[in-house]
Amino acid sequence: MGQHITISDVAKEAGVSKQTVSKVLNDYPDVAIATRKRVQEVIDRLAYQPNALARNLSANQTRTIGVLSSQLSHYGPHSTFVAIDHHANALGYRIFPYLLQNDNPVDIEHHIRVLMAQRPDAIICEVPRSWEEPVYIRDKDLLSQIPIITMAENLLGVTNVLDLQTQEASRLIVQHLFDEGYQHIGIISGPLHWRLAQQRFDGWRQALQERGITPDEHCVAYGDWSAASGSRCIAQLIDQYPEVDAVFACNDQMALGALLVLHERGISVPRDLGVVGFDDIPESEFLWPPLTTVHQPFDQYGAVLVHKAIEMVKANVKYGTFEAPDLTVIRPEVVIRQSSNRSRT
């Protein structure tokens, strides 16, 4: 009887997902004791055995993870890439990096095929956030060979394992500015053809609308993520929006450029004008004044990506199929420092 029983049969009988059955069989700790007991009873009663062909897949493993990445000159993609490498190595895997020089989304399936030729056990697509529209991977054969996961909402068809709550984080940090008594909050946006720049912009706009404020173009300056653009944009905002008393810079580098110009003009931060950023780069707490920002746990991003990839590899080895793991939600954390803390000045 056992050879006719599938993991789907076990899951249905136990009233759980196939992923939960996989976790029980692989001794994952994050399964409730009662659930684990119920699943194991069903496995024993049905005499379920993983098929032999699936078990033989383990002999073909290379213990490598392909990493498709780009934009490593920017802090976020670079930090995530380093974290992926660190956590893969800690678990006995090595990464095979494939760095995109061309961000043309038309080429993404080609890049995945080239990387797959190196025979990785799984692929992490830490792909460009600069695509204006989501890209859909349509080659089902490509998607069925090995686990392919991502943290990018603009890459569809592959398995997304992370929800970074970017818009909500942006809304919260702008809400903090209102709570500190600021009323005229401008934004130094990243380039809006970047998905994450649009999400941060949407969070700012949502916070204003919740206060009954209609955002206007004179409240906005468009940067390119660099400190130099932050300097240019804060000067532009002061000229076109004279009543501005706070600014949300959509990354810490642009906030750094803004702080320099404000210092040069004798504008007191945070008394006259509050400044907040996004990312919490290591230097943020050492700027003057120390920068309020949204903390991004890049090391955690890398850890989740690697662990989810390996989880899917193990399930594939055992059962000859891989199931999408649960989506991990990373809650935003606003780190309040002196650059916006008007109530303590």
Tens digits of per-residue pLDDT, 113-163? 999 888 999 999 987 666 777 788 888 778 888 899 998 777 888 888 989
- Residue 31: per-residue pLDDT: 80
Mean pLDDT of the chain: 88
**pLDDT tops 90 at residue 7:** no
- Structure confidence at residue 202 as a pLDDT band (50, 70, 90): very high
Mean pLDDT of 200-211: 97
Which of 130-144, 160-174, 241-255, 321-335 bottoms out in mean pLDDT, i.e. has the lowest? 130-144
DSSP letter for each residue of 255-294 = HHHHHHHHHHTT--TTTT-EEE-SB--TTGGGSSSPPBEE
Evaluate if residue 207 carries a pLDDT over 50: yes
Cis peptide before 282 (omega within 30 of 0): no
Q: Is the peptide bond before 289 cis (omega within 30 degrees of 0)?
A: yes
pLDDT computed for residue 2 by the predictor: 39
Residue 71's pLDDT is: 84
Structure tokens at 241: 């929006």
pLDDT reading at 279 higher than 80: yes
Give CA angle at 103 (98, 104), nearest 5°. Answer: 120
Asked if 196 and 190 touch (Cβ cutoff 8 Å), the reply is: yes
Q: What pLDDT score was predicted for residue 58? A: 52
Architecture (CATH level 2) of domain 62-163+298-331: 3-Layer(aba) Sandwich (3.40)
Residues 255-266 pLDDT 10s? 999 999 999 999
CATH 3.40.50.2300 fits 166-295, yes or no: yes
The lowest-confidence range among 113-122, 196-205, 224-233 is 113-122
Q: What percent of the chain has pLDDT over 90?
A: 56
Tell whether the model's pLDDT for residue 345 goes beyond 70. no
| Among 5-14, 153-162, 228-237, the range of highest mean pLDDT | 228-237
pLDDT value at 302 more than 60: yes
The distance between the two most distant Cα atoms of the chain, rounded to a whole number of Å, is: 81
Strongest mean pLDDT among 114-128, 167-181, 182-196: 167-181
pLDDT band at 53 (very low <50, low <70, confident <90, very high): very low
Choose between 254 and 56: higher pLDDT.
Answer: 254
Q: Would you say residue 52 has pLDDT above 60?
A: no
Looking at residue 24, its amino acid is: V
Cβ atoms of 172 and 338 within 8 Å: the answer is no
Q: What is the pLDDT of residue 1?
A: 39
Residue 50 has pLDDT above 70, yes or no: no
CATH 3.40.50.2300 in the chain: give the residue spans.
62-163+298-331, 166-295
Average pLDDT over residues 325-329: 87
Return the C-alpha torsion angle 313, 316, 319, 323, nearest 10. Answer: 100
The CATH code belonging to domain 2-49 is 1.10.260.40
Q: Which is more confident, 334 or 17?
A: 334
pLDDT at position 108 is 85
Q: Would you state the pLDDT for residue 319?
A: 60
Numbered ranges of CATH 1.10.260.40 in the chain: 2-49
Task: Answer yes or no: is pLDDT of 324 > 80.
Answer: no
Lowest mean pLDDT among 7-11, 210-214, 234-238, 244-248: 7-11
Determine which of 7-11, 210-214, 246-250, 323-327 has the lowest per-residue pLDDT on average.
323-327
What pLDDT does residue 154 have? 76
> Could you give the count of Cα atoms lying within 13 Å of 314 in the half-sphere of its Cβ?
18
